[in-house]
Amino acid sequence: MTETNALTNSVINYLLYNGHFASRIQSQGQYSPTRGRWIKSKVRRGIGDIIACVNGKFWMIEIKTGTDRQSDFQKSVEQDVIKAGGVYLIVRTLGQFIGYYESNNTDSHTQENAANSRPVKRPAKKPRRNSNRIGSLGKHGKVILSKLKLS
């Protein structure tokens, strides 16, 4: 795993652990073996590596390691996010990110929700039907093909 991937995963896991939404953004094009060429991504150029919602506020996080620098496209996205009222961060280390998070996150929204929350009663699980069919959805929404029985 590269340093950039490790830092990206660490930031996402830190946010998720603290009860926020966070997701990696895949902006790289994909190689198509049938076409024999790379297909350009449909994601806006310059989009950050991570999007998150922290206490109801939109965050876009750009991960930079080593001598990486912001492109002009990334600078444009940064201005648009800030203009729209969001938070844009350029993160070089996990310690830097945690420092920003702790100094700018009052947790008032989280504490208010925790004080007013009640245990959620969940309905009993229904028995699964046809779980051995091709294309059934697994626990995490992934298609299960391994249960296919060949005679």
Delimit the domains of the chain by residue range.
Answer: 3-116
Round to whole Å and give the CA distance between 57 and 55: 6
Q: Which tens digits make up the pLDDT trace of 87-141?
A: 999 999 999 999 999 998 755 444 444 444 444 445 555 555 554 444 444 544 4
Query: What average pLDDT does this structure show over 30-46?
Result: 86
Query: What average pLDDT does this structure show over 38-51?
Result: 87
CATH number for the domain formed by residue range(s) 3-116: 3.40.1350.10
What local confidence, expressed as pLDDT, does residue 126 receive?
Answer: 57
Residue 93 backbone phi and psi in degrees, to 5: -145, 155
User: Dihedral sign, CA of 91, 93, 96, 98?
Assistant: positive
Name the helix (H) or strand (E) containing 12: helix 3-17
DSSP state, 71? Answer: -
* 41 within 8 A of 29, measured Cβ to Cβ: yes
What local confidence, expressed as pLDDT, does residue 146 receive?
Answer: 44
Round to whole Å and give the CA distance between 91 and 64: 6
The better pLDDT of the pair 70, 131 is held by: 70
